[in-house]
Amino acid sequence: MSMLRQRKPKPQLEEHEEEEEEEEEEKKKKKVRPTEDPPLKKRWSCVDSCCWFIGLICSIWWFLLFLYNAMPASFPQYVTEAITGPLPDPPGVKLQKEGLKAKHPVVFVPGIVTGGLELWEGHHCADGLFRKRLWGGSFGELYKRASLSLIPPGPLCWVEHLSLDNETGLDPPGIRVRPVTGLVAADYFAPGYFVWAVLIANLARIGYEEKTMYMASYDWRISFQNTEVRDQTLSRIKSNIELMVATNGGKKVVVIPHSMGVLYFLHFMKWVESPAPMGGGGGSDWCAKHIKAVMNIGGPFLGVPKAVTGLFSAEAKDVAVARALTPGFLDKDFFRLQTLLHVMRMTRTWDATMSMIPKGGDVIWGGHDWSPEEGYDCAPKKQKSNDTMITDSNGANGRQSQAEIVNYGRILSFGKDVAEAESSKIERTDFRGAVKGNNFANGTCQDVWTEYQDMGIGGIKAVADYKVYTAGSILDLLHFIAPKMMKRGDAHFSYGIAENLDDPEYQHYKYWSNPLETRLPHAPEMEIYSMYGVGIPTERAYVYKLSPTTDCNIPFQIDTSADGDDDSCLQGGVFLVNGDETVPVLSAGYMCAKGWRGKTRFNPSGIPTYVREYDHAPPATLLEGRGTQSGAHVDIMGNFALIEDIIRVAAGATGEDLGGDRVYSDIFKWSEKIKLRL
Amino acid sequence: MASSILRFRKLCYVEPVNCFSDSKIKDPVGPIEKALPELRKQRKQRRGWRCWDMCCWTIGYMCTTWWLLLLLYHSVPLTLPGLQVPESPGLKLKNRGLSALHPVVLVPGIVTGGLELWEGRPCAEGLFRKRLWGGSFTEIFKRPLCWLEHLSLDNETGLDPPGIRVRAVPGLVAADYFAPGYFVWAVLIENLAKIGYEGKNLYMTAYDWRISFQNTEVRDQALSRLKSRIELMFVTNGYKKVVVVPHSMGSLYFLHFLKWVEAPPPMGGGGGLGWCAKHIKTVMNIGPAFLGVPRAVSNIFSAEARDIVFARAMASGFLNSDMFGLQTLERVLRVSRTWDSVISLLPKGGETVWGNLDWSPEENFACDPARKRLLQASSQANHSHPITNSSDGKLRFGVEDPIRFGRVISFGKDSSQLQSSQLKLNDFKELLRNRGNPKQSSCNGEVWTEYEDMSKESIQAIAENKAYTVESYLDLLRFAAPKMMKRAEAHFSHGIAENLDDPKYSHYKYWSNPLETKLPDAPDMEIHCLYGVGIPTERSYVYKLSTPSNKCKRIPFRIDDSANGNDGECLKNGVYFVDGDESVPVISTGYMCAKGWRGKTRFNPSGSPTRIREYQHKAPANLLEGRGFESGAHVDILGNVAMIEDIMRVAAGEELGGDRIYSDILSMSEQVNIRL
């Protein structure tokens, strides 16, 4: 270093550094040279080559690291702009130039899986992980435990700590895993994988900061009411919203729930106005006083078919992103052959997954021969037209004649032929009365608790013989195969349609997260948005088969060999429909397009609703990362159009100012087909 | 550009000798790509190969060894057999059956809380929501000036400069570790968790410790958030009152909060009388700086950051070096002078508490290690009946001429020791008038320390007034830094109230001064003072004029580090030491609990009980213990096992015993003559 100063400065900084390193290398060489000559050839062995190789890699790595650190922070942007042309201003900058300012406080409600969980008390195998993230963050501990600690099997320790108690759905004894609090809870799911971070950064541009933004993080594993019982999370959200309204001059909050957070916030709105022992005791005008708008992003209002397969066979065509992140880890041998079983055991203790079982039964999701989406054309769109804001029915009819009609209503069918046959031709035997055997309960896999062991071969066969399950009968199926889990779940969630909303039974909290069994609060000035991506094939129904019988396997699996023609909706055993990759359009859009539109019995005060769809456009180049026009379930959080809408509303705009509905899909047409008394 | 350099670089790996002919440096891409095949050929010849290989080999060898050692280190069980780790208080109390009862609120002090960037200048691009303060401090080294610019506040308002928003980090992460591996609250949090604490009943108050207390409410609504949080925890934990644990400056902040929350709305929180009585069980002040810290004096006067907590230890090299182009100290002075909260730490109570030219409450303190041992023995003897009796103070009377701690600043060692009658003192008020014309300063004032505005004569005049007490020091500051004091004195006051019922005392600037406010009416609320003793702590300073080489760029005053006393004296490197916890002297931490609030006094009209728990400092026995389990130092005490146990017992609803005192705080307090 000191030599460096004496030298004449060179014009370019980088070259300067080059020289510096060069000098050091020369110095090293001088030191090394005397020792090297004669004995080298003898000693030059395999170990030396290894060392040499490692050294080379290390040096290069350090050098790159050094370059990376010395690089100005804006450098990647220059590269990107050089290749793709100038990027559009991020919405925050654009709107700041328009003169928008922070006005309404915003509340984020993260969805399932995306929030971080940290350890507060654990068993011995988790020593040293106090307040470290078990979920979210780098997942480093998961791999570290797996590779380093030889004593107890590492990943099992992790699974053990993330599982909940079978009976209560709460903490197992001696373990306390709690949600991370603050904006960090869900800004990035893993390093570099943003969830809320882009939105937060853009809001900050127009003046938002910690005091006007609040991340309502909650433990997404346990049922909604239990977050209040165990952690008083709902009370904390209430208190925080009240505080933000009070300290921001009485400006109401804009709430932005994502994914399952949508249901959670629905639950919250009922909870907060209900009287005290079960509810929050805020009084019947709490929502009207404190909430300006609820901007639901990708909300599974009516459930997700994915949740069914998750519970049924743990084929976690994951709920959000877990699978994309850890594909290797879900595959077989990681946990010594029982990966899926362990995952299933873990997820079955998570009550929250049951909140996303399809709701509304056959009325919404279709019966054996009927479904609202029938006639949907799965052929990839040849051209993307910008003017399909309102779908014209002629075009849709034209397509319908060509495309085969898919029976989306049959959410599970055993065998491809069954999925496509006419309902009168299917032979079925009822499984409900089938006797469960006890045939292989004493197998080798007793420690894994999935309830399948209790079923026996008879029970499994009965399930397969029933052939076809619709949204209504799936509930019976789940009750049959996993009675204990569903017993727990039934105490917290309900999936029906209310006949008479005045019935006092609907005051129970288990109905609060089902939009078809609750009324919206009385708040005519509040606005409800449903914002979601469209244009991505989304799982809607499945073709199943019995898996080859070994003791410890899950007896059912998706028949991935069932494929249709090129343009068919059937791919890899899954019937696809329009949606955002996770939630079908029907679930995300129906309530705002029809169920709550105008004054209905579910929306007695006539809260205005808006449907805002974002057509998916995949990122043009790798440099764009996850894209600025994505419509995928999580990536939509980086969609510039969506962010712009949110910022405008937060800065005071109403739904009318945004331009009302913005629709690309057939959601209005499909909603018309659903015969629900409103 | 970078990629071409990279390629160039790789080539140099292959053939380092030939890379650096001058022509190639000028244009790295073209000629070399042409020369590529040639180079490959040369690579096959073994010339120059080996030395390079040897380098790689050495590095590889070292890396491998390092990894092996690391692996070994990780696989070794955490507790080495040789090291005696005391059982953690959390486990111990858990085994005794204690569990979480009262919610706990932590209030961090100055400097220890993290700050993050929300909006910045272009130079801070990419740092959005990254920590500027706390964490790894890498940004200091990357772009020091940018960093300083973002941490400064506005000169006039004491709030954000335009275009910059730096905010406190929220949550427990705000102050669990100050820097990686340097715990602040982490040990306490971990132990509390053992008996069942978690996010819902444990809360870290986040506030921007740079701005004045009332401004945290004006800008961030921090006080409102604290109030709402305490109310929420009170309700959701079955109506159990909270235990508040403030540390260092946090004690003053919480004192401010206690007054704020009961005061009526526009200025206060509108909680109504009785709010504290209803919501707060105990305030357990750790190392509270109730009456201020002498360190703040030198810090403000000459930025000789005998840091307020430990910024200096962290960045000692950085403060002295030439890193910012010769003006490090000046820039630091400039930045820290924009931080209003530093003013809250100036000594309070004037000469009555801190002593005058000839007298100070600590004057009998002995720094002699031999006698210290004697003292310790006597105080240990006292330990059996915890309240020391002042009579044994007589042992030490009249041995030597007492040290005049009351002279907070004296110019020259002699003047710190002379009788006051022999001292040359000027009248300050006169100085105020002829402060000198700002225009005559020749410096184009990029660096704003207000010293530039002063004429040479006035600097000389300051130095001629040989000694300053706490009171005249404040006058001095008003003279030397009028703008800063004007800003700060709108938020803080340092006097003693004559009549607490005077309506002026309902102004917020008095709320953080315990000598100018009444405690709230809460007869059941307990106040504890927990602090370390047994470490020499700065109490007063010997200054000199710094060499006037370049008037613009220098702070004109320096601590005279050549001033040393004899062996047995308290003077070292220009600083007089007294008993304390390394940052705060005992008189400041202990006086209010020992005397000012004890029983029913006018500062404590409802008679809230007070308690003193002192922790005798014991340095860690070996390196493996890290910062020690029995430390009494200002920050390290947060890892003190005995203190953690005390806090946990209170939080779990147990009663602590009475006072536990090692120092002379009671006899010192007796000498402080305040009407109570």
User: What was the pLDDT predicted at A15?
Assistant: 45
- Which residue, of B75, B99, B131, is where some domain finishes? B75
Strands B535-545 and B575-580, bridge-based pairing? antiparallel
pLDDT band at A239 (very low <50, low <70, confident <90, very high): very high
**Is B62 inside any structural domain?**
yes
Tokens of B346: 């100036």
User: What was the pLDDT predicted at A493?
Assistant: 92
User: What was the pLDDT predicted at A644?
Assistant: 93
pLDDT band at A566 (very low <50, low <70, confident <90, very high): low
Decide if pLDDT at A16 tops 80.
no
User: What was the pLDDT predicted at A234?
Assistant: 94
Q: Which residues, including other chains, have CB under 8 Å from residue A448's CB and lie 6 or more apart? A: A338, A341, A342, A345, A552
Q: What whole-number distance in Å separates Cα of residue A434 and Cα of residue B50?
A: 78
User: What was the pLDDT predicted at A80?
Assistant: 66
User: What was the pLDDT predicted at B412?
Assistant: 82
Helix axes of B49-75 and A46-70: crossing angle, nearest 10 degrees: 90
Beta bridge partners of A600: A603
Tokens of B304: 């000789």
Q: Read off the pLDDT of residues B25-39 as tens digits, 9 standing for 90 and up.
A: 444 444 445 545 555
pLDDT band at B553 (very low <50, low <70, confident <90, very high): low
User: What was the pLDDT predicted at A398?
Assistant: 40
User: What was the pLDDT predicted at A401?
Assistant: 41
Q: Read off the pLDDT of residues A312-324 as tens digits, 9 standing for 90 and up.
A: 776 644 433 344 4
Chain A partners within 8 Å of B56 (Cβ): 51-53, 55-56, 59
Angle at B316 between CA B312 and CA B318, to 5 degrees: 120
**Is B163 inside any structural domain?**
no
Q: What whole-number distance in Å separates Cα of residue B289 and Cα of residue B251?
A: 7
Decide if pLDDT at A378 tops 80.
no
Which whole number is the average pLDDT over B484-504?
88
DSSP for B561-622? TT----TTSSEETTEEEEEEBSSSBHHHHHHIIIIITSSSBTTBTT---EEEEEEE----SS
pLDDT band at A106 (very low <50, low <70, confident <90, very high): very high
User: What was the pLDDT predicted at A333?
Assistant: 43
- Which residue, of B75, B98, B116, is where some domain finishes? B75
- Which residue, of B25, B51, B75, is where some domain finishes? B75
Decide if pLDDT at B2 tops 60.
no
User: What was the pLDDT predicted at B84?
Assistant: 56
pLDDT band at B381 (very low <50, low <70, confident <90, very high): very low
User: What was the pLDDT predicted at B327?
Assistant: 56
Q: Would you name the residues of B annotated as active-site residues? A: 248, 581, 634
Domain count, chain B: 2
**Nearest CB partner across the interface for A182, out of B171, B235, B236:** B171
**Is B11 inside any structural domain?**
yes
Q: Read off the pLDDT of residues B300-338 as tens digits, 9 standing for 90 and up.
A: 777 664 443 334 444 444 444 444 444 566 677 778 788
Chain B partners within 8 Å of A187 (Cβ): 129
DSSP for B7-25? HHHHHHHH-HHHH--HHHH
User: What was the pLDDT predicted at A166?
Assistant: 82
Tokens of A576: 């696809």
Chain A partners within 8 Å of B51 (Cβ): 29, 32-33, 36
Q: Read off the pLDDT of residues A139-170 as tens digits, 9 standing for 90 and up.
A: 655 555 544 444 444 567 788 888 898 888 88
Which whole number is the average pLDDT over B8-15?
43
Q: Which domain holds residue B20?
A: 2-75
Nearest-by-CA chain A residue for B128: A201
CB-based contact (8 Å) between A67 and chain B?
Answer: yes
Decide if pLDDT at B567 tops 90.
no
Chain A partners within 8 Å of B100 (Cβ): none
Decide if pLDDT at A137 tops 80.
no
Of the listed ranges A69-73, A225-229, B197-201, B392-396, the least confidently predicted one is B392-396
**Is B573 inside any structural domain?**
no
Name the minimum distance, in Å, from the CA of B70 to any CA of chain A: 11
Q: Read off the pLDDT of residues A460-496 as tens digits, 9 standing for 90 and up.
A: 888 888 888 888 888 888 888 888 888 888 889 999 9
Measured in degrees and rounded to the nearest 5, phi and psi for residue A543 equal -105, 125
Looking at mean pLDDT, say which of A81-90, A97-106, A124-133, B43-52 comes out highest. A97-106
CB < 8 Å from B in window 388-417 of A: none
Which whole number is the average pLDDT over A623-649?
88
Decide if pLDDT at B615 tops 80.
yes
Decide if pLDDT at A428 tops 90.
no
**Is B319 inside any structural domain?**
no
Which whole number is the average pLDDT over B429-438?
52
DSSP for A491-556? TT---S--S-TTSGGGGSGGGTT-TTSSPPPS-TT-EEEEEEEESEEEEEEEEEEEPP--TTS-SE
**Nearest CB partner across the interface for A51, out of B8, B64, B176:** B64
If one compares A545 and A231, the residue with the highest pLDDT of the two is A231
- Amino acid residing at B157: T
**Nearest CB partner across the interface for A36, out of B50, B190, B200:** B50
CA-only gyration radius of chain A, Å = 28
Measured in degrees and rounded to the nearest 5, phi and psi for residue B245 equal -125, 90
Which whole number is the average pLDDT over B359-379?
61
Of the listed ranges A100-114, A139-153, A219-233, B479-493, the least confidently predicted one is A139-153
Residue A223 designated active-site:
no
Beta strands in A343-449 (DSSP E): 412-414
Q: Count of CB contacts below 8 A, A vs B?
A: 156
Chain B partners within 8 Å of A239 (Cβ): 228-229, 231-232
Give the number of other Cβ atoms within 10 Å of residue B31's Cβ.
13
CB-based contact (8 Å) between A40 and chain B?
Answer: yes
pLDDT band at B538 (very low <50, low <70, confident <90, very high): confident
Nearest-by-CA chain A residue for B56: A55
CB < 8 Å from B in window 97-136 of A: 120-121, 127-128, 130-131
CB < 8 Å from A in window 152-171 of B: 165, 167-168, 170-171
User: What was the pLDDT predicted at B380?
Assistant: 47
CB-based contact (8 Å) between B63 and chain A?
Answer: yes
CB-based contact (8 Å) between A47 and chain B?
Answer: no
**Contact across the interface for B61 and A55, Cβ inside 8 Å:** yes
Beta strands in B439-588 (DSSP E): 467-468, 526-533, 535-545, 557-559, 571-572, 575-580
Decide if pLDDT at B409 tops 90.
no
CB-based contact (8 Å) between B368 and chain A?
Answer: no
Percent of chain A with pLDDT over 90: 29
**Contact across the interface for B55 and A28, Cβ inside 8 Å:** yes
Which whole number is the average pLDDT over B266-288?
91
pLDDT band at A623 (very low <50, low <70, confident <90, very high): low
Which whole number is the average pLDDT over B486-510?
88
Report ipTM for this prediction: 0.80
Decide if pLDDT at A626 tops 70.
yes
